[in-house]
């Protein structure tokens, strides 16, 4: 029997790559997706498409409505989503798209799921290079969380300790895309745009679209998803 791994999956390019990596490493994937009132709800549809593609039988969808109630982020509120449109500036500032303690909550849920299903491996697609503005994407956060989770659970007391895999942590977006493509990740099913139109087509101008398009460009390949203003997709 394959060992189980809980994989945080959002329907985006990074988490889909994580699924591909986990499968390649021989794990049975337990999927975990969060609905926190994100404006880009087509993400959830993408997560479901990816789940079906990989035939993941054990998948949890968790409502995190409190993140919406609490507000304070452009991803769940009416704060305008920044459109860079020129160069992608990675600054020391925390982006307005930051959601309070999001990865802390996501990983805590994943730890609970792992303990319940008997998994000792978690996969999360955090990336230290492209998202340096998010405090909860830093390697030191992941490291501290692992220690905390092992203190919080039976695993840390009398079982095998929990391991948090961050296979994308040190990769550029182009490297992530090359990795995923080498593993056959279904990028045509994924979604990244923060501000899609009513048909789920990506805007091509938000930070997330620009980062994605830049990645495909640098990887020397073409993004298979449709963008607004591309004419017929």
Residues in contact with 57: Cβ distance below 8 Å, sequence separation at least 6, in sequence order:
none
- In the numeric block, the tokens 């304070």 are attached to 72
Q: Is 96 in the site for its own copies (CB under 8 A)?
A: no
Q: Is 160 in the site for its own copies (CB under 8 A)?
A: no
Q: Under the phi-then-psi rule, with left for phi > 0, alpha for psi from -120 to 50, and beta for the rest, what region is 26?
A: left
| CA dihedral sign, ordered 196, 202, 204, 209 | positive
Closest to its own copies by CB, 108 or 181 = 108
Options 10-18, 43-51, 68-76, 217-225: segment touching its own copies (CB under 8 A): 68-76
Phi, psi of 89 (to 5 degrees): -90, 120
Helix axes 173-182, 207-218, angle to 10 degrees: 60
Q: Is 66 in the site for its own copies (CB under 8 A)?
A: yes
Closest to its own copies by CB, 100 or 226 = 100
Q: Is 169 in the site for its own copies (CB under 8 A)?
A: no
Q: Rounded to the nearest whole angstrom, what is the least distance from the CB of residue 98 to its own copies in the complex?
A: 7
Q: Select the residue interacting with its own copies from 1, 86, 151, 199 (CB under 8 A).
A: 151
Spatial distance between the Cα atoms of 85 and 213, rounded to a whole number of angstroms: 12
Q: Rounded to the nearest whole angstrom, what is the least distance from the CB of residue 19 to its own copies in the complex?
A: 20
Nearest to 19 by CA among 49, 39, 45: 49
Closest to its own copies by CB, 115 or 130 = 115
Closest to its own copies by CB, 74 or 193 = 74
Residues 227 and 204: beta-carbon distance below 8 Å: yes
Q: Is 65 in the site for its own copies (CB under 8 A)?
A: yes
Binding residues (CB under 8 A) for its own copies: these are: 60, 62-63, 65-67, 69-72, 94, 98, 100-105, 108-109, 111-113, 115-117, 135-136, 138, 140-141, 144-145, 147-149, 151-154, 156-158
């Amino acid at each position: 029997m394959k060992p189980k791994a809980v994989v945080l999956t959002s329907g985006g390019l990074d988490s889909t790559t994580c699924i591909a990596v986990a499968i390649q490493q021989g794990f049975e994937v337990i999927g975990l997706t969060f609905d926190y009132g994100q404006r880009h709800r087509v993400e959830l549809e993408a997560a479901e498409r990816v789940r079906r593609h990989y035939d993941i039988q054990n998948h949890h969808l968790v409502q995190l409505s409190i993140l919406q109630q609490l507000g304070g982020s452009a991803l769940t509120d009416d704060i305008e989503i920044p459109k860079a449109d020129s160069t992608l500036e990675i600054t020391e500032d925390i982006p307005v798209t930051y959601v309070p303690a999001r990865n802390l909550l996501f990983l805590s849920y994943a730890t609970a799921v792992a303990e319940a299903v008997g998994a000792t491996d978690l996969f999360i697609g955090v990336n230290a290079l492209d998202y340096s503005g998010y405090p909860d994407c830093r390697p030191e956060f992941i490291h501290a969380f692992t220690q905390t989770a092992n203190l919080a659970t039976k695993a840390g007391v009398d079982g095998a300790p929990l391991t948090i895999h961050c296979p994308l942590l040190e990769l550029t977006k182009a490297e992530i895309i090359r990795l995923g493509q080498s593993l056959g990740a279904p990028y045509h099913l994924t979604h990244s745009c923060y501000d899609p139109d009513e048909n789920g087509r990506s805007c091509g101008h938000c930070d997330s679209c620009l980062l994605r398009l830049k990645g495909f460009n640098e990887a020397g390949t073409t993004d298979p998803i449709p963008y607004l203003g591309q004419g017929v997709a």
